[in-house]
Structure 1
């Protein structure tokens, strides 16, 4: 393997994944080798990274300048509009979720950067596929703007690798659950909101119906999976679109039952909204055996461990312990 000092740029560094991924990359590579970027103005403590750039990722000229200024070798391109928000701004979502990815692939093709991470999503699945244990190679048939943009992005990743050898790597994230950073407009956000409401109010109204199962992943496992994929030798990777990630699968009703083990009086009610139709188009569970075979994907958290960890940490965060 070639040896070089990794200089990392993270777009969307202030988001749900970006905040925690930045912290881990700083631990591994040192703050000075990590550049965080987002739309917020710089302020003290905005990120754990050694450098912060206020950056609109659709401004290609500015992005290229940042890449050159910091001699960036690796980009974690996380900036995007999530599923619920994308449905409200479809044309903007298409532009934001796709065009910067292609720009980064062009930069890698030119030799300006060496490696790219880009997240896809279970939203790429859709009508006509089995609900359970969805395989790596199923036909993608998304019904949402977010899913369509992610499917297109996957094909661009594959294209740039096949045609130009661009080393772009991707994971189809399921719903992500974290106590550190609020969720940002996704269909699986109920699985984060429910914990806040359980601790603060003892009750929650779910916008997803009680028996709708969706794949979920605790953020700790998502970050470790991302780093493991990026560390894997190039020759061990057999998927250049995006790897399935399964995590765990549960319904709002099952999650409420786990929460009651920690907060016995917790009550849940159900008022499905427009996000229910999005959830209905997604799989209930995912087969991630290809990732396990190719780069030794593994998990530390199931629904019980995740629930206990969320409640313990959120109680401290919210001053309710």
Structure 2
């Protein structure tokens, strides 16, 4: 199938792996990676790359026109922990980049948009367990506020202008291929690095801070599956709940100890614990399963196996 795709934020945690996956599916030359900085050598050598500021409409439009882009994946964002330190910069990046892409689609310069939301859209008053697709959402973080606002704009542009925009609410993501990018669930990647390198880890969340998590391969698969399905299958145009497993630091530690018995973990919660306390413990993703056949493939045990097997061979 011929597709011409642009990825904004291709050098980030999700963007890097999404770039490789889409290039494998559609051909290296059909997927244009872009970011405000250059990425890894392997990413830069795998296909076309453009230095691009996602907040610059004219620059994005030029790249879209030059490469005859049909679909845009907007992965550029400032994540939860970093956004709390730079609120205005986070809002500017997270919102203006979305408006740029939605407006390009509104003008029919691109055909389809993927924009990621997050479990950060939920807040302290949201039901914590089996959080519904539609529920009370009062996010208390800069990142969550921007993502909830983005969901409303995606729905608005779809209903008002017919923009084909699609979205999932990512849980915390675990990957061995890229380093974490400033999120509240970064511990779930750091813990595997430290288990292998030091045999111990000091966690910035409490041991029982259970949060929705997902192995990156599942997240990439869900993203592409959603973008590939027929538009008339979709009943949610804000963002779909997405789930795989719910984990606490103690759960991951126990899984690691099965393979590294001497591993030690300690806890020193910081401001990210306060953020985590506002998020769900588990997610109801029935709508994603019903509408486009979503099913996760990774649980904690095969995630730990993949992380500990592959991290020693990875250099950053």
TM-score by length of 2: 0.97
Taking the aligned partners of 1:258 and 1:52, their CA distance within structure 2 comes to 39
Contact preservation (8 Å) 1:212, 1:252: yes
Question: Partners of 2:214 and 2:65 in 1: how far apart?
Answer: 35
- Count residues in correspondence: 316
Shift of 1:5: 3.2
Partner of 2:32: 35
The answer for unaligned runs of 5 or more in structure 1 is none
Structure 2 match to 1:136? 133
Number of the residue aligned with 2:281:
284
Contact 2:176 2:311 in 1 (8 A): yes
1:90-113: per-residue Cα shift (whole Å, max 9, x none)? 001001001111111111111100
Q: Is 1:75 aligned to 2:33, yes or no?
A: no
Q: Deviations over 1:254-300 (max 9, x none)?
A: 11000000101000000000100000000000000100000000111
Q: 1:226-251 CA distances to partner (integer Å, 9 max, x unpaired)? A: 01100111000000000001110011
Q: 1:188 aligns with which of 185, 202, 213?
A: 185
- Contact 1:34–1:49 under 8 Å retained in 2: no
Q: Is the counterpart of residue 52 in structure 1 residue 49 in structure 2?
A: yes
Query: Which of 298, 302, 306 lines up with 2:299 in the alignment?
Result: 302
Q: Name the residue aligned to 2:117.
A: 120
Q: CA RMSD in A?
A: 1.4
TM-score using structure 1 length: 0.96
Does residue 256 of structure 2 align to residue 251 of structure 1? no
Instruction: Tell me the CA shift for residue 41 of structure 1.
Output: 4.2
Deviation at 1:49, TM superposition (A): 4.5
Cross-structure match for 1:151? 148
1:35–1:49 Cα contact (<8 Å) kept: no
Structure 1 pair 237–146 and aligned structure 2 pair: CA distance change class (3 A): same
* 1:36 alignment partner, SS class: strand
Aligned to 2:22: 25
- Paired with 1:208 and 1:47, the residues of 2 have a C-alpha distance of 35
- Which residue in 2 is equivalent to 1:313? 310
> How much has 1:29 moved relative to structure 2?
0.7
Rounded to whole Å, the distance in 2 between the matches of 1:116 and 1:48 is 25
- Secondary structure of the 1:262 match is coil
